[in-house]
Chains A and B, each alone.
Chain A
Amino acid sequence: DAKTTQPNSMESNEEEPVHLPCNHSTISGTDYIHWYRQLPSQGPEYVIHGLTSNVNNRMASLAIAEDRKSSTLILHRATLRDAAVYYCIHQSSGGGADGLTFGKGTHLIIQP
């Protein structure tokens, strides 16, 4: 199974940037890196994904290390609504019908 390592929890202040780290030292060349988040009492929500290059979308930015063994999800200006569990996932895109393998994720706490 693909495996990632994330801190159990992180705390940040509202309106400040948040950098959520993820280590994925066993990643292979074809594995996408996905980030999902799960707000309280909701299903997971897609945040962003990438393969090699850094990626930006309206929710966040994904910075991928050159050796791809780690990545960082960046929330540029955290709001209270960003308090959630953030999951970093990597998995082979070998065409198999495998679901995403979630770990325990990082519980992000936002202080007002």
Chain B
Amino acid sequence: ETGVTQSPTHLIKTRGQQVTLRCSSQSGHNTVSWYQQALGQGPQFIFQYYREEENGRGNFPPRFSGLQFPNYSSELNVNALELDDSALYLCASSLDQGPLVDTQYFGPGTRLTVL
């Protein structure tokens, strides 16, 4: 059983640009969640996808969007990047019932720097 992987590891963008971050969930995990972790803080929930549909969202603006694919991969897209978007972006997969009950398996994260 492979773990959760994310790409790229690091990324540098400039303000106003768009970025796509990728995640590969564990096989068989139908739920994927994305989190943003600023330096020195705990992760903050962005949104969750279940079987390719967004079914939950945290306090993040619409310029944060996502996709989930049938092959257990997913994407986080951020438009019109702002300096405050600089953070570690984590994805986490779980089996079916979501993070409140199921164990969440986190990837190593993508470090995004916005200049």
Binding site for B on A (CB under 8 A): 32, 36, 41-46, 49, 85, 87, 91-93, 96-105
Contacts and interface: CB of A to CB of B under 8 A. Distances in A.
Given A43-B92, A99-B33, A93 B45 contact: no
Contacts, number: 68
Interface string B40-63: 111111111010000110100000
Nearest to B35: A99
Which among A45, A91, A97, A103 has the highest number of chain B CB atoms within 10 Å? A97
A46 B48 contact: no
A92 B42 contact: no
A49 B55 CA distance: 23
19 contacts: A41-B108, A43-B92, A44-B104, A44-B106, A49-B103, A85-B42, A93-B100, A96-B56, A97-B56, A98-B99, A99-B33, A99-B35, A99-B99, A100-B99, A100-B100, A100-B104, A102-B35, A104-B42, A105-B42
A46 B105 contact: yes
Interface residues of B, number: 29
B66 interface: no
Contact of A91 (B41, B43, B100, B103): B100
Interface of B: 4, 33, 35, 40-48, 50, 55-56, 58, 90, 92, 98-101, 103-109
Contacts of B104: 36, 44, 46, 100
Contacts of B92: 43-44
B42 A103 contact: yes
